[in-house]
Amino acid sequence: MSMDNRTCVITGSAKGIGRGIAEHLGEEGANVVVNYRSSEGPAHEAADAIESAGGSAIAVQADVTNRDEVERMREACHEAFGQCDVLVNNAGITADKQFTEMSRTEWDRVMDVNLGGMFNCTQEFYDDIWNAHEGRLINISSVVGKQGNFGQANYAAAKSGMFGFTRTIALELAQGGSTANCVAPGFTRTDMVESIPDSVLDRIVSGIPLERLAEIEDIAAVVRFLASEESSYVTGEVIDVNGGMDL
């Protein structure tokens, strides 16, 4: 699944799932743009790790909710590597609250990053993906977008919205030979689940047929497949990577 000379932009890839994706794609020979909002040190460490492993990477600051910064990220990508072949919309946040307690600000913040960020980055890199030989758009959604989750009405709505967006962009990109897919991870060991109390995590794990949380590598391996030429006839899909949570 060589990614030699393919250029991949992964939003929010200083840490967590995004970093795992960046490192996996770097190992395959891709040029990697490690995007960060605030984690400057970790982003440079991620880029250095990819370079030390023999790959090519740059770290670029851009808040995905800010269109001007996303435009500058595209320019930095073009300057370093040329056009982007693969965009992974991974940046995401939660702001959990039982619905009756949820403020409009908490709703808007989650929509702005998870959906607004995806809009900004996809539109900014759309021409690149269209013009690439078999360009790839990969959106990181969540099992919560399918199943819902107590206290996550905002996040579930945003993650579910990614499905419809992806299917529509898949239709629009298809004429040019590029694809768009979603990956919907289950609960994965990253900072995002750190804040979940152990007792709640135990309850979550007891409901997972494979009886464990996902590791970052489990998600990154599926993204690597979708980014590769091996997946050229897969488009408009949501690939669940959740240990069988919905069985």
Q: Which residues are catalytic?
A: 155
Q: Which is nearer to ligand NAP, 175 or 206 (CB)?
A: 206
Give me 16's structure tokens: 């967590």
CA dihedral 232, 186, 148, 34 (to 10 degrees): -70
Per CB under 6 A, 36 contacts ligand NAP: yes
Query: Among 142, 166, 181, 231, which residue interacts with ligand NAP (rule: CB under 6 A)?
Result: 142
Per CB under 6 A, 192 contacts ligand NAP: yes
Stretch that binds ligand NAP, among 8-16, 102-110, 124-132, 165-173 (CB under 6 A): 8-16
Q: b or e along 17-32 (b: 16 or more beta carbons within 10 Å of the residue's beta carbon)? A: bbbbbbbbbbbbebbb
Strand partners of residue 120: none
Per CB under 6 A, 64 contacts ligand NAP: yes
Strands (DSSP E) along 109-190, which ranges? 136-140, 179-185
* Sign of the dihedral defined by the CA atoms of residues 58, 63, 68, 71, in that order: positive
Per CB under 6 A, 16 contacts ligand NAP: yes
Q: Least distance to ligand NAP from the beta carbon of 240, Å?
A: 10
Is residue 146 within 8 Å of residue 131, measured between CB atoms?
no
Per CB under 6 A, 76 contacts ligand NAP: no
H or E segment and range at residue 155 = helix 153-174
Per CB under 6 A, 139 contacts ligand NAP: no
Total of chain residues touching ligand NAP, rule CB under 6 A: 29
Per CB under 6 A, 58 contacts ligand NAP: no
- Note the residues at the interface with ligand NAP (CB under 6 A): 11-12, 14-18, 36-39, 63-65, 90-93, 113, 117, 140, 142, 185, 187-188, 190-193
